[in-house]
Amino acid sequence: MIDFLAEDATALAARVASGEVTPTELLDAALAKVAAVNPALNAVVLVQEDAARRAIAASLPHGPFRGVPFLLKDLGCEAVEFPSHNGSRLFANTVYRANSAIYDRIQATGVVTFGRTTSPESGIGAATESAVYGGPTRNPWNLDRTSGGSSGGAGSVVAAGIVPFAHGSDGGGSVRIPASSCGLFGFKPTRARLPDGPFAGEGWAGMSIDGFLTRSVRDTATMLDACSGPDLGAPYSAPPLLKSHADAISRPPRRLRVAICDTSFTGTPIDPQVAEAVRATGRLLESLGHHVSPGLPKADVPMMMRAWTDIVAVGTALSVRGGLKGRPLSDDLVEGVSRGATTYAETLSPLRYLEAVGEIHAFGRQMAAAFSDYDILLSATLAEPPAKVGRFAHNTTDYLAYRIGPQGIFAYSPFCAIFNASGQPAASVPLGQSSDGLPIGIHLAAPYGNDEELIALCAELELAQPWAARRPQLVA
Tell me the per-residue pLDDT of 110-120, one tens digit each, with 9 for 90 and over. 999 999 999 99
Q: Order of strands across the sheet with 376-380? A: 165-170, 209-214, 185-188, 426-433, 439-445, 376-380, 257-260, 291-294
Exposure class string for 100-138: b at 16+ Cβ within 10 A, else e? bbbbebbbbbbbbbbbbbbbbbbbbbbbbbbbbbeebbb
In whole numbers, what is the pLDDT of the chain averaged over residues?
A: 97
Question: Is pLDDT of 310 > 90?
Answer: yes
Q: Given a cut of 70, is residue 476 above it in pLDDT?
A: no
169 is catalytic: no
Q: Render pLDDT for 349-407 as a digit per residue (tens, 0 to 9).
A: 999 999 999 999 999 999 999 999 999 999 999 999 999 999 999 999 999 999 999 99
pLDDT, tens digit, 9 for 90 and up, residues 419-430: 999 999 999 999
Segment 292-296 shows an average pLDDT of 97
pLDDT reported for residue 35: 98
For the chain, percent of residues with pLDDT exceeding 90: 98
Q: Kind of pairing, strands 291-294 and 257-260?
A: parallel
| pLDDT attached to residue 2 | 87
Strands (E), 317-463: 376-380, 426-433, 439-445
Give 439's contacts (C-beta < 8 A, 6+ positions apart): 141, 180, 181, 182, 183, 184, 385, 386, 430, 432, 433, 470
Q: Residue 249: helix, strand or coil by DSSP?
A: coil
Average pLDDT (328-338) is: 97
Q: Give me the sign of the Cα torsion angle 28, 32, 35, 41.
A: negative
- Closest CA relative to residue 375, chosen from 438, 454, 322: 454
Q: For the chain, which residues make up each domain, given as ranges? A: 9-301+357-464
Question: Can you give the pLDDT at residue 43?
Answer: 98
pTM: 0.98
Give the model confidence (pLDDT) of 179-206 as tens digits. 999 999 999 999 999 999 999 999 999 9
Question: Other CB atoms closer than 10 Å to residue 269's CB: what's the count?
Answer: 10
Q: Could you say which of 130, 150, 180, 208 is catalytic? A: 150
Q: What is the CATH number of domain 9-301+357-464?
A: 3.90.1300.10
Task: Find the radius of gyration of the CA atoms of the chain.
Answer: 20
Strands 439-445 and 376-380: antiparallel
Active-site pick, 119, 156, 174, 181? 174
Question: Is 134 a residue whose pLDDT tops 80?
Answer: yes
Q: Per-residue confidence at 1, pLDDT binned at 50, 70, 90? A: low
**What is d(CA 137, CA 45) in angstroms, rounded to the nearest whole number?**
11
3-state secondary structure of 213: strand
On the CB side of 312, how many CA atoms lie within 13 Å of its CA? 29
Instruction: Supply the pLDDT for residue 31.
Output: 98
With vertex at residue 214, the alpha carbon angle to CA 145 and CA 415, rounded to the nearest 5 degrees, is 60
Over range 324-329, report the average pLDDT. Answer: 96
Is residue 8 within 8 A of residue 164, CB to CB? The reply is yes
**Does residue 474 have a pLDDT over 90?**
no
What separation in angstroms does the CA of 100 have from each of 194, 197, 429? 12, 6, 29
Identified catalytic residue from 73, 180, 216, 264: 73
| Digit-coded pLDDT (tens) for 220-234 | 999 999 999 999 999
Q: Is 174 designated active site?
A: yes
**188 is annotated as an active-site residue:** no
Side chain identity at 59, as an amino acid letter?
S
User: What pLDDT was estimated at residue 102?
Assistant: 98
Contacts of 237 (CB under 8 A, 6+ apart): 192, 229, 230
